[in-house]
Structure 1
Amino acid sequence: MARTTVDDLFIHELSDVYSAEKQITKALPRLARAATNPKLSEAFTSHLEETQGQIERIDQLVEQAGLKLKRMKCVAMEGLVEESKELLDEIEKGEVLDAALIGACQKVEHYEIASYGTLIAMAKHLGMTDAANLLAETLAEEKSADEKLSAIAEQGGNQAATMTKK
């Protein structure tokens, strides 16, 4: 489908972020198991629950607005998920891996924050107030998840990694 209107672009971007959220639901359980910091593992587990709610919110938006999402794969998220898999393969379980996972997951959060911010602006432009409000709920959750990851890193997650000897 050609993206010749803001409506087309909105559907494309919404389809893209929907795919991204689906990919994240598959990756988060693996990351939760790999984390040794209990706070980090819990952050991954709780964000999985939030992500499932975000997918439901997109479903609700689509139904309310009478939209049809495109079947597609978010290649940006595919790359970010692949990066996290490489970390799991290359770094021994422990503080260094935890620090790497925090960084990888913050990349994901920042991608999502940018995506949802863009979608909210488009929804407002299109007069889709309800959609903008639903997307804003998700944006707030993504920002909160990013802040939680920063707090875990600052509370010692990354300090422990710098003290680990080779």
Structure 2
Amino acid sequence: MAEEKTLDDLFLDTLKDIYYAEKQIVKNLPKMAKAATAPELKAGFEQHAEETQGHIDRLEQVFELIGKPARGKTCDAILGILEEGKSIMEDFKGTVALDAGLVSSAQAVEHYEIARYGTLKTWAIQMGLTDAAALLDATLKEEVATDKKLSQVATSVANRKAA
């Protein structure tokens, strides 16, 4: 019979997943910034790289709060999303559609993060981890704000240029 798993186990597993994902994202944002042609998109990626380091720091605090080492677990989902972004950078390099493709890729990353942080925050509340929930909520709010900024860049600059 399989070992009984609890919400604690699921929380830790998902925490490791998003920790790994954030580490991969922070490595990829400078590449996206370099590829972007619109100054506001380039600046947005650079700013989000700094913000992402803060997300990693918060996750490390959550690991500390639950008494576990900060370790990642390979996240195939984020690797796939980032691979799609690399393909867009290669396939659309030098075209008017590049920035629109970069925004699309970045929003796929943001939506994945929003889903993970929302779930983790809800579980932390359920488990009575109010300090962890507050840290996760702070990151969730930043991810939602980044998604809104990306939508703004898409509609005001990138999509128009691509059309």
- Aligned-pair RMSD on alpha carbons? 1.3
- CA shift, 1:93, in A, is 2.6
Do the aligned partners of 2:38 and 2:99 also contact (CA within 8 Å) in 1? yes
Q: TM-score, normalised to structure 1's length?
A: 0.93
Do the aligned partners of 2:97 and 2:159 also contact (CA within 8 Å) in 1? yes
CA distance in 1, matches of 2:162, 2:138: 34
What's the CA shift string for 1:51-103, capped at 9, x where partnerless? 00000011111112312345421110000110011111111234311000100
Partner of 1:75: 76
Partner of 1:120: 121
Percentage of pairs with the same residue: 47
CA distance in 2, matches of 1:129, 1:3: 25
Asked if 1:102 corresponds to 2:114, the answer is no
Asked if 1:41 corresponds to 2:54, the answer is no
1:26-37 equivalent positions in 2, closer than 5 A: 26-37=27-38
Q: TM-score, normalised to structure 2's length?
A: 0.95
* Equivalent pairs, count: 161
Structure 2 unaligned regions, length at least 5: none
Structure 1 unaligned regions, length at least 5: none
CA distance in 1, matches of 2:32, 2:53: 16
Amino acid at match of 1:38: P
CA distance in 1, matches of 2:5, 2:51: 33
CA distance in 1, matches of 2:131, 2:108: 28
Partner of 1:61: 62
CA distance in 2, matches of 1:3, 1:55: 30
Asked if 1:25 corresponds to 2:34, the answer is no
Do the aligned partners of 1:99 and 1:158 also contact (CA within 8 Å) in 2? yes
What's the CA shift string for 1:26-45, capped at 9, x where partnerless? 11000000000000000000
- CA shift, 1:3, in A, is 7.3
